[in-house]
Amino acid sequence: MNFNLTEEHKMIRDAARDFAKTELLPGVIERDNQQQFPKELVKKMADLGFMGIMVDPKYGGSGMDTISYVLIMEELSKIDASASVIVSVNNSLVCYGLEAFGTEEQKQKYLTKLASGEKIGAFCLSEPEAGSDATSQKTTAEDKGDHYIINGTKNWITNGGRADFYLVVAQTHKEKGHKGINVFIVEKDMEGFHVGPKEDKLGIRGSDTHTLQFNDVKVPKENRIGEDGFGFKFAMKTLSGGRIGIAAQALGIASGAYELALKYSKERKAFGTEICNHQAIAFKLADMHTEIEAARLLVMKSAFDKDQGENYDTSSAIAKLYASKVAMEQTVEAVQIHGGNGFVKEYHVERLMRDAKITQIYEGTSEIQKIVISRSVLRN
Ligand code: CAA
């Protein structure tokens, strides 16, 4: 077993770290305040190959492995979790699904543009009454021979108002349950597709989250992904990889907050010495470091499983469950170490604390991860 990063992995991590510090940091507070989508920064991330990290270069991607993906996700998330979720959704939920299960035509037409970052993707599964219970899709896709007609509403869609291509999960044969679900590629200009209101969120405020409406949207049959009825498995497989990305995001949020708290504790004086010299603070830092290291090992293990071609459904759920808990708990501690300053925006930790919460909710709540893990435990 080798826990060391290769020289190449270190270079990738350092490039992402450098980008996050020089490009993401300067406007991050303003974007959070204004709920401003980082359009120009997405272009810069695309130039660095971050929008199609694991995609084969023949489809416009960077051809890197999953370890590289989580290293990039961690570094971006330390500074700006809004930017990193844009990257994560495009990579894990959209590019991965198209590359693994799309036809050659779909890859040429859509994946090449998404992986290069020329276009942005969104993944549309959640509905007003189908978030965790993903089989209860109310959105319908009626088979009309050479095309489908899609009707329904999708909620909380990341990149919702900014995407060019949407992977839309819909029910085609209600009586077949999860086997009657399909996924379709919808283009933003298709008639009947409407972007609804933007959500005013607690965290990841620089990302763009919308309700979407589909009113008799005509989608050609060749835009269905996989065999008829493959949609639910497509969503589950795709979400397993997505959970590695969100686990890495949670790790980044936690480690970003920890680094800020550590630095602050060495500068801030109270009772005649830097506060890190008080055991009350030193022990907090020890706990934070330990928890974050444990989360990192779980995130890396899951990425490693994926790179080795092993099943990663359970390890990704474990990594996401644990890393998101660490992110929530340790960002609260980082605010505490900062005292009154922690409550003020310019110190960044309050934003990281707000951003942490979503990692316990999206791409499956913590309770959903426990369903996945407990089923695996009971099966074995
Ligand atoms: N890979 C492949 N197939 C899978 C699978 C996986 N990881 N997980 C389940 N399946 C298959 C099962 O084998 C089964 O197939 P068969 O009938 O052929 O055996 C089928 O799918 C149904 O599986 P279950 O009976 O386990 O399904 P379920 O209804 O009990 O649901 C669940 C399981 C884990 C709770 C699932 O519904 C789930 O993950 N829900 C959460 C959905 C979610 O993450 N939503 C978040 C929205 S996306 C988002 O947040 C994006 C964003 O914008 C950031």
pLDDT tens digits, residue range 4-50?
A: 999 999 999 999 999 999 999 999 999 999 999 999 999 999 999 99
The answer to whether the CB of 313 is under 6 A from ligand 1 is yes
Best residue among 126, 176, 233, 370 to mutate for probing ligand 1's pocket (most ligand atoms within 8 Å of CB) is 233
- 227, 267, 363, 367: which one is catalytic? 363
pLDDT for the residue 202: 98
Distance of CA 239 from the midpoint of ligand 1 (Å)? 8
Residues in the chain: 380
pLDDT for the residue 378: 97
Q: Tens digits of per-residue pLDDT, 336-370?
A: 999 999 999 999 999 999 999 999 999 999 999 99
The answer to whether the CB of 364 is under 6 A from ligand 1 is yes
Residue 76, token pair as written in the block: 């971006």
Instruction: Look up the pTM and report it.
Output: 0.97
CB 324 within 8 A of CB 247: yes
Best residue among 178, 238, 311 to mutate for probing ligand 1's pocket (most ligand atoms within 8 Å of CB) is 178
Q: Is the pLDDT of residue 380 over 80?
A: no
pLDDT for the residue 269: 98
Distance of CA 52 from the midpoint of ligand 1 (Å)? 24
Q: Measuring from atom 10 of ligand 1, which residue has the nearest CA?
A: 233
Question: Strand 193-198 and strand 269-270: pairing?
Answer: unpaired
Q: Tens digits of per-residue pLDDT, 158-208?
A: 999 999 999 999 999 999 999 999 999 999 999 999 999 999 999 999 999
* 306/313 Cα distance (integer angstroms): 9
Distance of CA 134 from the midpoint of ligand 1 (Å)? 7
Mean pLDDT of 289-300: 98
Mean pLDDT of 223-241: 97
Mean pLDDT of 282-300: 98
The 3-class secondary structure across 109-127, one letter per residue, is HHHHHHHHCCCCEEEECCE
Confidence at 372, pLDDT banded by 50, 70, 90: very high
The answer to whether the CB of 234 is under 6 A from ligand 1 is no
CB 66 within 8 A of CB 28: no
Residue 2, token pair as written in the block: 């080798």
* 8/62 Cα distance (integer angstroms): 13
Q: Tens digits of per-residue pLDDT, 295-337?
A: 999 999 999 999 999 999 999 999 999 999 999 999 999 999 9
Question: CA torsion angle for 329, 207, 121, 356 (degrees, to 10)?
Answer: 0
Confidence at 287, pLDDT banded by 50, 70, 90: very high
CB 106 within 8 A of CB 225: yes
Q: 168 - beta bridge partners? A: 124, 184
Confidence at 130, pLDDT banded by 50, 70, 90: confident
* 219/200 Cα distance (integer angstroms): 31
Interhelix angle 349-358/313-338, rounded to 10 degrees, is: 150
Confidence at 88, pLDDT banded by 50, 70, 90: very high
Q: Measuring from atom 41 of ligand 1, which residue has the nearest CA?
A: 132
pLDDT for the residue 134: 85
Place of tokens 């316990």: 360
pLDDT for the residue 1: 82
The answer to whether the CB of 368 is under 6 A from ligand 1 is yes
**Average per-residue pLDDT for the chain:** 97
Alpha helix segments (H runs only) across 138-189: none
The answer to whether the CB of 147 is under 6 A from ligand 1 is no
- Check if 8 is active-site: no
Distance of CA 195 from the midpoint of ligand 1 (Å)? 26
pLDDT for the residue 238: 97
- Angle subtended at Cα 27 by Cα 23 and Cα 30, rounded to the nearest 5 degrees: 160
Confidence at 129, pLDDT banded by 50, 70, 90: confident
- Angle subtended at Cα 38 by Cα 59 and Cα 254, rounded to the nearest 5 degrees: 90
pLDDT for the residue 2: 86
CB 157 within 8 A of CB 210: yes
